[in-house]
Structure 1
Amino acid sequence: MDIEIRFIDNIKDKGLFAKRDFNAGSVIFEEDPLVCCQFSWNSAYGYKACDHCLRPLETAEENARRLSAKPDLHLPHPQCCNTNKNTIVSCTLCGVNYCSTECQITAYNQYHRTLCFQRKSSLEDHPLYQLNETWKQMHYPPETSSIMMIPRILATIQQSPNTEHAQAQFLQFCHRTVNENTKIAHKLLGGKFAEQIAILNGLLVRAIDPEGVSHFLTQEGFQSLVALIGTNGQGVGTSAVSQWVTRSSELQLSPEETVKLDQFIDKLYEDMDKHSGNFLNNEGVALFSLQSSCNHSCVPNAEPTYLHNNSRLSLVALTDIKAGDEICISYLDECTLQRSRHSRNKELSENYLFRCTCPKCEQQAHDPDVTSDEEEEDDEMEEMSE
Structure 2
Amino acid sequence: MEEREKFCMEQLSSGEALFTQGPEGYDMAAICFYKALKVYPAPAELVMVYQKTIPPEVFTLVMGMLSMDVQKKQEKYYTVFPPKEMNVKIEELAEGVTAEGQKVVRRGLVATKDFTAGETIYSETPIISSLEPSLEGNDFCHYCLKQIEESAKVRCATCSKVVFCSETCEKAATTEFHAVLCTKDSEDAHNPERALSDYTKETNNKYPEMIAKFLVRMVHEETLNSGEEYNLFDHIERLRFLEVRPSAAEEKEIALLKLALGSKIPGIEEFINEERYLTLKGKLLYNAYGVSTSLDASRSVEPSPEQYRSVHDAPVVGAGFYRVTSYVSHSCEPNTKVAFLEHTNNMSVVATRDIKAGEELHVGFIDQKNGTLSTEQRRQELFQHYRFKCMCPRCETTE
| 2:144 pairs with 1:110 | no
Contact kept, 8 Å, 1:40 with 1:132, in 2: the verdict is no
| 2:157 pairs with 1:92 | yes
The equivalent position to 2:109 in structure 1, one of 16, 19, 34, is 16
Partner SS state of residue 369, structure 2: helix
2 CA distance for matches of 1:355 and 1:336? Answer: 21
331-340 or 32-41, which deviates more: 331-340
Identity %: 26
2 CA distance for matches of 1:276 and 1:218? Answer: 31
1:252-291 equivalences in 2 (<5 Å): 281=315, 283-291=317-325
The equivalent position to 1:223 in structure 2, one of 255, 270, 278, is 278
Contact kept, 8 Å, 1:300 with 1:328, in 2: the verdict is yes
| 2:389 pairs with 1:355 | yes
Q: Note the C-alpha offset of 1:5.
A: 1.5
CA RMSD of superposed structures (Å)? 3.0
Match of 2:252 in 1: 199
2 CA distance for matches of 1:341 and 1:215? Answer: 45
1 CA distance for matches of 2:168 and 2:200? Answer: 30
Match of 1:7 in 2: 92
Residues 253-276 of structure 1: CA distance to partner in whole angstroms, max 9, x if unpaired? xxxxxxxxxxxxxxxx6xx68x99
Larger radius of gyration: 2
Residues 222-266 of structure 1: CA distance to partner in whole angstroms, max 9, x if unpaired? 111110111111111112346xxxxxxxxxxxxxxxxxxxxxxxx
Aligned residues: 290
The equivalent position to 1:130 in structure 2, one of 182, 195, 200, is 195
Residues 37-80 of structure 1: CA distance to partner in whole angstroms, max 9, x if unpaired? 1011343xx75111100111227xxxxxxxxxxxxxxxxxxxxx
The equivalent position to 2:121 in structure 1, one of 12, 16, 28, is 28
Change in CA separation of 1:222 and 1:316 when aligned onto 2, cut-off 3 Å: same
2 CA distance for matches of 1:299 and 1:280? Answer: 20
1 CA distance for matches of 2:217 and 2:322? Answer: 15
Gaps of 5+ in 1: 60-84, 178-188, 243-268, 366-386
The equivalent position to 1:40 in structure 2, one of 133, 138, 147, is 133
Partner SS state of residue 208, structure 1: helix
Q: Note the C-alpha offset of 1:212.
A: 4.8
Aligned partner letter, 2:164: Y
| 2:325 pairs with 1:297 | no
Contact kept, 8 Å, 1:234 with 1:287, in 2: the verdict is yes
2 CA distance for matches of 1:291 and 1:174? Answer: 12
Change in CA separation of 1:224 and 1:157 when aligned onto 2, cut-off 3 Å: same
Change in CA separation of 1:232 and 1:276 when aligned onto 2, cut-off 3 Å: closer
The equivalent position to 2:291 in structure 1, one of 232, 236, 244, is 236
Contact kept, 8 Å, 1:15 with 1:294, in 2: the verdict is yes
Q: Note the C-alpha offset of 1:281.
A: 4.3
Aligned partner letter, 1:152: K
Q: Note the C-alpha offset of 1:200.
A: 2.0
| 2:215 pairs with 1:160 | no
211-220 or 353-362, which deviates more: 211-220
2 CA distance for matches of 1:132 and 1:333? Answer: 30
Gaps of 5+ in 2: 1-84, 95-102, 304-311
TM-score (norm 2): 0.65
2 CA distance for matches of 1:135 and 1:225? Answer: 17
Contact kept, 8 Å, 1:16 with 1:327, in 2: the verdict is yes
Aligned partner letter, 1:6: E
Partner SS state of residue 334, structure 1: coil
Q: Note the C-alpha offset of 1:116.
A: 2.3
2 CA distance for matches of 1:361 and 1:215? Answer: 45
1 CA distance for matches of 2:217 and 2:177? Answer: 5
| Higher RCO (C-alpha 8 Å, min separation 6) | 1
300-309 or 209-218, which deviates more: 209-218
TM-score (norm 1): 0.67
Contact kept, 8 Å, 1:50 with 1:97, in 2: the verdict is yes
Change in CA separation of 1:23 and 1:14 when aligned onto 2, cut-off 3 Å: same
| 2:212 pairs with 1:151 | yes
2 CA distance for matches of 1:11 and 1:341? Answer: 24
1 CA distance for matches of 2:146 and 2:158? Answer: 21
Q: Note the C-alpha offset of 1:220.
A: 1.1
1 CA distance for matches of 2:392 and 2:373? Answer: 15
Contact kept, 8 Å, 2:89 with 2:110, in 1: the verdict is yes
Partner SS state of residue 355, structure 1: coil
Q: Note the C-alpha offset of 1:165.
A: 1.8
Aligned partner letter, 2:90: I
